[in-house]
Amino acid sequence: MDAKRSTVLLGFAFLIFLALSYFENIIFFSILGDILRNQFLAVAMLFVHNILVISLILLGMTFYVNLVLNFFKKGKYEHVVLEHPRTFAIVFTVTILLLSILRGSNLLYGEISVESLPLILLISAPIGIIEGYGIYLTIKKTLSRAMSMKDLAYIYGIFLIAAIMEVGFINLLIWVSTG
């Protein structure tokens, strides 16, 4: 199969999985309260959810790399992201983390509560650092075209640790609030 055709098929696969992830997200957040009652189920579900998210990022970045390499001439701007994967990975990771924090505020309070954002930032900082590192590695390795199975297993391991920490912090918050 030629490179352009495989890029188009990869793009279609990305669009299909992006649409499916929308429905997964709706279902996941609608049953999150029930999931959190069982710690082992919560770790497993958060891990699977995070793996789906990071796999979607990986698929999207792979599509982007193939699109640039196979469809765009080597011009002044077309390869900027591929030439500076670290910078793009940092910007993309920070954007995702900020959106996640706003989403967390929206889930807790039904709206984005500016007054509670410092507390949410403080509580979610350790998990955000770990998940942010996993996102950063995924994007940087994919844009650098250096992703290996060992790297992917390492990244998935990072998200397993993050899921365990997240459930631990949730249980700690529940324990502190019920006192």
> Token digits for 173?
């918050």
Angle CA(97)–CA(101)–CA(107) in degrees, nearest 5?
Answer: 140
The pLDDT value recorded for residue 40 is 93
The one-digit pLDDT tens for each residue of the chain (179 residues) are 699 999 999 999 999 999 999 999 889 888 988 888 899 999 999 999 999 999 999 999 999 999 999 998 777 788 888 999 999 999 999 999 888 888 777 766 677 777 777 877 777 788 889 999 999 999 999 999 999 999 999 999 999 999 999 888 878 777 776 76
Residue 179 has what pLDDT?
Answer: 63
| Res 29: pLDDT | 83
Instruction: Please answer whether residues 134 and 80 qualify as being in contact, where contact means their C-beta atoms are separated by less than 8 angstroms.
Output: no
Alpha-carbon distance 46 to 32, whole Å?
9
Domain ranges of the chain: 3-178
Distance between CA atoms of 158 and 177, rounded to whole angstroms? 28
Q: What pLDDT score does 124 carry?
A: 79
pLDDT at 108: 66
106 in Cβ contact with 100 (< 8 Å): no
How far, CA to CA in Å, does 177 sit from each of 68, 78, 122, 127, 172? 50, 51, 16, 20, 8
